[in-house]
């Protein structure tokens, strides 16, 4: 932001009103002050590509630094997925200003941020969406580009629901303990059936990474049992669950473990 007082051109921080530069000039030499204005802005927004892990979870966006007198914030609401209506900004800023972006838990029940896969990215929407900064630790730091051509920095904080898998066990012709192992965060667990033909479910397990081929393996079953079926429900688009009954494995392809997937995989053993 600039002003002219006599033959002095001064530049001000639009956030604080503080003078940050000045120079004298002949008024006859001034032809276009508009070309001096960069018109930089910064905006912080929230993306929930796979919705909320728990209904009622909300997020408070935070922007600080860069000459701001106090932290600017906005809190999401509702239940929609994707980019949320609540945003911080756009705020007028100066070239080279450094800001910190962050978020805080909100909502009822209060969001547990650690239960989401969190990341952030800032792009310059005025210059081909060039990436200015990105990361997965918080708070994140971003500086306004100093090209002098005017930047529109948009910072998006993304919270993705990690994929989850619940293992169910059915035993036909008898009951007993059945153990499972797996990859990509599937932990060892033993499910004990108590009534033939009635399913027993383990706790939902959060996978380590989304979009990764994952295998669930049933350990050697009690004597006389054979694995006769294995399948999953809740598969996202393109997801497959391929059983190998002789090897007692069920393999989920990468599409099956997409962010937000909530699978229930049932293994059925029959007493021969």
pLDDT of 96: 94
Mean pLDDT value of segment 73-83: 97
Mean pLDDT value of segment 251-266: 96
* pLDDT tops 80 at residue 83: yes
Query: Who has greater pLDDT, 227 or 22?
Result: 227
Cβ pair 60, 73 in contact under 8 A: yes
Distance CA 74, CA 163 (A): 28
Query: Who has greater pLDDT, 4 or 202?
Result: 202
pLDDT of 43: 98
Three-point CA angle 31, 32, 33, nearest 5°: 120
pLDDT of 12: 54
* pLDDT tops 60 at residue 19: no
Q: Exposed (0-12), middle (13-18) or buried (19+): which is 31, by Cβ within 10 Å?
A: exposed
Distance CA 227, CA 234 (A): 21
pLDDT of 136: 95
Q: Is the dihedral of CA 82, 140, 100, 144 positive or negative?
A: negative
C-alpha of 143 from chain center: 22
Q: What is the pLDDT of residues 223-243, one digit of tens each?
A: 999 999 999 999 999 999 999
Mean pLDDT value of segment 174-191: 97
Cα diameter, the chain: 100
Cβ pair 136, 118 in contact under 8 A: yes
Backbone angles phi, psi at 19, to 5 degrees: -70, 130
What does pLDDT average to over the chain? 90
Name the H helices within the chain: none
pLDDT of 233: 98
Distance CA 86, CA 112 (A): 19
User: What percent of the chain clears pLDDT 90, i.e. is strictly above it?
Assistant: 84
158-190: burial string, b at 16+ Cβ within 10 Å, e else:
bbbbbbbbbbbbbbbeebbebebebebbbeeee
Distance CA 222, CA 57 (A): 43
Q: What is the pTM of this model?
A: 0.73
pLDDT of 148: 73
* pLDDT tops 60 at residue 267: yes
Cβ pair 271, 171 in contact under 8 A: yes
* pLDDT tops 60 at residue 63: yes
pLDDT of 13: 60
User: What percent of the chain clears pLDDT 70, i.e. is strictly above it?
Assistant: 86
Mean pLDDT value of segment 46-52: 95
* pLDDT tops 50 at residue 35: no
Q: How many CA atoms lie within 13 A of 97 on its CB side?
A: 26
Mean pLDDT value of segment 237-263: 97
Cβ pair 203, 156 in contact under 8 A: no
pLDDT of 147: 77
Give the confidence band of 29 by pLDDT, cuts at 50, 70, 90. very low
Residue 71 φ/ψ region, left for φ over 0, alpha for ψ in the -120 to 50 degree band, beta for the rest: beta
**185 DSSP β-pair partners:** none
Mean pLDDT value of segment 255-271: 96
User: From edge to edge, which strands make up the β-sheet containing 140-143?
Assistant: 72-75, 57-65, 98-107, 140-143
Mean pLDDT value of segment 24-51: 70
Q: What is the pLDDT of residues 135-168, one digit of tens each?
A: 999 999 999 998 778 999 999 999 999 999 999 9
């Amino acid at each position: 932001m600039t002003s002219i007082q006599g033959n002095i051109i001064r530049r001000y921080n639009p956030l604080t009103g503080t003078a940050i530069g000045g120079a004298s000039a002949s008024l006859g030499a001034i032809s276009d002050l508009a070309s001096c204005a960069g018109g930089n802005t910064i905006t912080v927004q929230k993306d929930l590509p796979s919705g909320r892990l728990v209904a009622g979870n909300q997020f408070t966006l935070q922007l600080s630094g860069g000459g701001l007198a106090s932290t600017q914030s906005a809190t999401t609401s509702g239940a929609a997925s994707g980019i949320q209506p609540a945003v911080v900004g756009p705020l007028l800023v100066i070239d080279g200003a450094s800001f910190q972006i962050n978020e805080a838990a909100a909502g009822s029940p209060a969001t547990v941020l650690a239960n989401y896969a969190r990341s952030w990215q800032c792009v310059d929407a005025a210059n081909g969406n060039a990436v200015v900064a990105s990361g997965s630790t918080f708070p994140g730091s971003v500086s306004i580009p100093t090209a002098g051509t005017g930047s529109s920095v948009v910072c998006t904080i993304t919270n993705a629901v990690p994929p989850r898998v619940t293992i169910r066990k059915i035993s036909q012709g008898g009951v007993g303990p059945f153990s499972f192992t797996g990859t990509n965060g599937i932990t060892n667990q033993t499910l004990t059936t108590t009534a033939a033909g009635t399913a027993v479910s383990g706790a939902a397990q959060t996978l380590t990474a989304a979009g990764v081929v994952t295998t669930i393996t049933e350990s050697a079953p009690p004597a006389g049992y054979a694995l006769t079926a294995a399948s999953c429900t809740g598969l996202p688009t393109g997801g497959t669950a391929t059983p190998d009954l002789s090897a007692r494995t069920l393999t989920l392809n990468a599409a099956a473990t997409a962010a937000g997937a909530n699978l229930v995989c049932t293994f059925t053993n029959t007493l021969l």
